[in-house]
């Protein structure tokens, strides 16, 4: 057996060698034990890891003994040594590399198992100081992970305890395949990329450069490969980059979530969080547009009102509820075909009722209110980032511009309508009464067209209703059409050069007009 002398004069065999240096020590003892007992590995480890292994009775050489350099600067320098990095980066098929390893008494490494200081977890804790965060920026770990990933043709890197079992299974089959090491290298680079992204985001925040930083990167781990995207010919997958949001929710029952389900569920989540949980609210959506939204005294009543607002469109819809699903609501939900239901909770007996519709996807997302600060859209050669439209409408900032003034009840109704119209694709018009939508005109290329659709949908119930518009009226035609159908109050952002024409028409027709001052386009 070949032996190489260490700097301290000890001799090391030329068997397989693993470097284990882990912050998260879960699974490390089992890994090391199997490497040593079943696969004849020798182990070298940094201080804390070596201690853990020694305490478990595993034979291990400390990195500092192997390199002859003590760990210094309170652990800031442990493995940053040519004897480590030479062993990771050397090419076994290159005579020059072999000669240099030999002349420098460096051994090839076969395995590098490293996981990083918990930077992300540390900064997620409250009141963490900058100094504490900085000390959790791992330097030696990413250096080893990246080096080993680069040299995947000659060794394997494992950057997470969840990979140990797969590696041991590979070993048990014989030699580690190139394909396996390449796969592990990809996972490793993903990890260091995500790690650096977290650090760079932290620094952007420190430097007050958070909202639209000079460099913007998106990373995420695959939650699942989806059957397809918007259409069957479009491959798609779902990625997550945090412990919150949809991937933290639980699916109680039903078919696997599709791409379109997730897009619709997110639209549903956004609209339902407009309504505080002290009053039951329900929204039914199709293709990201609400087709019915209602607030009522009970959750079941809110759902039924939302469903009946447009029961033709609601068939196969996505339902969002702002309160825990109870038995009456579950019963109502099972009377028709729906794609998905999401709520912050579900009572046990309600679960049993929902199971009657076994294909219905029922999701529980306790924190429905937490969404993404920014929205991102791909365009050729890049992407657009904007702050999400999280503006909370405040009637105190609205301007009443007509001779006729709204009653407090009408202001409350307008607030309800504004909360809905904000989530309808532009051009958007919403007609409501008794905090229930009567008609919704979505995604029209001219505003009066959206008005006509909303009014037609509202039909005979329009009389005495209120109308909300996501953008200003360029002409007074929409006001006249609405008043003729019986609308008594209109809320719109204002801002057109012809606002005065619309206001004059409202005065002439004896209806209320309020300018919210805020446009809510949604594309």
Ligand X SMILES: NC(=O)c1ncn([C@@H]2O[C@H](COP(=O)(O)O)[C@@H](O)[C@H]2O)c1NC=O
* C-beta separation of 35 from 111 below 8 A: yes
Look at residues 274, 236, 280 and name the one whose alpha carbon lies nearest to residue 258. Answer: 236
Q: Compare residues 73 and 392 and give the one whose CB is closer to ligand X.
A: 73
List, by residue number, the catalytic residues.
Answer: 150, 287
Name beta bridge partners: 255.
Answer: none
Q: Compare residues 22 and 506 and give the one whose CB is closer to ligand X.
A: 22
Query: Quick one: DSSP state of residue 501?
Result: H
Look at residues 441, 519, 435 and name the one whose alpha carbon lies nearest to residue 478. Answer: 441
* C-beta separation of 291 from 285 below 8 A: yes
Look at residues 104, 92, 109, 141 and name the one whose alpha carbon lies nearest to residue 41. Answer: 109
Q: Minimum distance from CB of 200 to ligand X (Å)? A: 17
Q: Minimum distance from CB of 73 to ligand X (Å)? A: 8
Residues lying near ligand X in the complex (CB under 6 A): 21-23, 46-49, 75-80, 114-117, 138-141
Distance CA 224, CA 209 (A): 32
CA distances from 157 to 6, 160, 336, 405 (A): 23, 9, 52, 71
Q: Compare residues 76 and 397 and give the one whose CB is closer to ligand X.
A: 76
DSSP track, 47-113: HHHHHHHHHTT---EEHHHHHS---BGGGTBSS-SHHHHHHHH--TT-HHHHHHHHHTT-PPPSEEE
Q: Minimum distance from CB of 21 to ligand X (Å)? A: 5
Q: Compare residues 146 and 433 and give the one whose CB is closer to ligand X.
A: 146
Q: Minimum distance from CB of 129 to ligand X (Å)? A: 18
Q: In this structure, what token pair is assigned to residue 312?
A: 């033709």
Characterise 127 by phi-psi region: left (phi > 0), alpha (psi -120 to 50), beta (else). Answer: left
Q: Compare residues 70 and 464 and give the one whose CB is closer to ligand X.
A: 70
Distance CA 309, CA 307 (A): 5
Q: Minimum distance from CB of 100 to ligand X (Å)? A: 22
Q: Minimum distance from CB of 47 to ligand X (Å)? A: 4
Q: Compare residues 112 and 454 and give the one whose CB is closer to ligand X.
A: 112
């Amino acid at each position: 057996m070949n032996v190489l002398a260490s700097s301290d004069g000890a001799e090391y065999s030329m068997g397989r060698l693993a470097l284990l240096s882990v912050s998260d020590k879960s699974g490390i003892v089992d890994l090391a034990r199997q490497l040593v007992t079943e696969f004849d590995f020798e182990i070298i480890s940094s201080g804390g890891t070596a201690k853990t292994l020694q305490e478990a009775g595993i034979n291990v050489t400390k990195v500092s003994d192997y390199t002859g350099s003590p760990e210094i600067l309170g652990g800031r320098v442990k493995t940053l040594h040519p004897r480590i990095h030479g062993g990771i980066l050397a090419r076994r098929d290159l005579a020059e590399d072999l000669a240099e390893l030999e002349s420098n008494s460096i051994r090839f490494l076969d395995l590098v198992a490293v996981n990083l200081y918990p930077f992300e977890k540390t900064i997620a804790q409250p009141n963490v100081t900058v100094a504490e965060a900085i000390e959790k920026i791992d330097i030696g770990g990413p250096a080893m992970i990246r080096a080993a990933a680069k040299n995947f043709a000659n060794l394997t890197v494992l950057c997470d305890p969840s990979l140990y079992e797969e590696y041991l299974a590979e070993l048990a089959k014989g030699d580690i395949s190139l394909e396996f090491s390449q796969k592990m290298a990809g996972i490793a680079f993903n990890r260091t990329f995500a790690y650096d992204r977290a650090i760079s985001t932290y620094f952007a925040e420190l430097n007050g450069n958070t909202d639209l930083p000079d460099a913007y990167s998106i990373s995420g781990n695959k939650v699942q490969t989806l059957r397809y995207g918007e259409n069957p010919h479009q491959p798609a997958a779902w990625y997550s980059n945090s412990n919150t949001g949809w991937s933290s929710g639980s699916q109680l029952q039903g078919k696997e979530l599709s791409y379109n389900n997730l897009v619709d569920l997110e639209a549903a989540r956004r609209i339902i969080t407009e309504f505080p949980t002290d009053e039951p609210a329900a929204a039914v959506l199709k293709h990201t547009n609400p087709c019915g939204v209602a607030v009522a005294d009970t959750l079941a009543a809110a759902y039924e009102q939302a469903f009946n607002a447009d029961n033709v469109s609601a068939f196969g819809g996505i339902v969002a509820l702002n309160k825990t699903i109870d038995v009456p609501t579950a019963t109502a939900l099972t009377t028709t075909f729906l794609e998905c239901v999401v709520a912050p909770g579900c009572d046990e007996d309600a679960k049993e009722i929902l199971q009657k519709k076994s294909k219905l996807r029922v999701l529980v997302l306790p924190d429905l209110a937490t969404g993404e600060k920014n929205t991102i859209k791909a365009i050729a050669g890049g992407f657009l980032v904007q702050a999400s439209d999280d503006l909370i409408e405040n009637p105190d900032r609205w301007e009443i511009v007509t001779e006729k003034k709204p009653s407090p009840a009408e202001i409350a109704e307008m607030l309800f309508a504004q909360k809905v119209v904000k989530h309808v694709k532009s051009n958007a018009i919403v007609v409501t009464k008794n905090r229930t939508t009567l008609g919704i005109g979505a995604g029209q290329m001219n505003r009066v067209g959206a008005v006509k659709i909303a009014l037609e949908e509202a039909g005979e119930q329009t009389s005495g209703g209120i109308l909300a518009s996501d953008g200003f009226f360029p002409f007074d035609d929409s006001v006249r059409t609405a008043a003729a159908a019986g609308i008594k109050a209109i809320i719109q952002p204002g801002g057109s050069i012809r606002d005065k024409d619309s206001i004059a028409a409202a005065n002439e027709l004896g209806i209320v007009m309020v300018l919210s001052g805020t446009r809510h386009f949604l594309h």
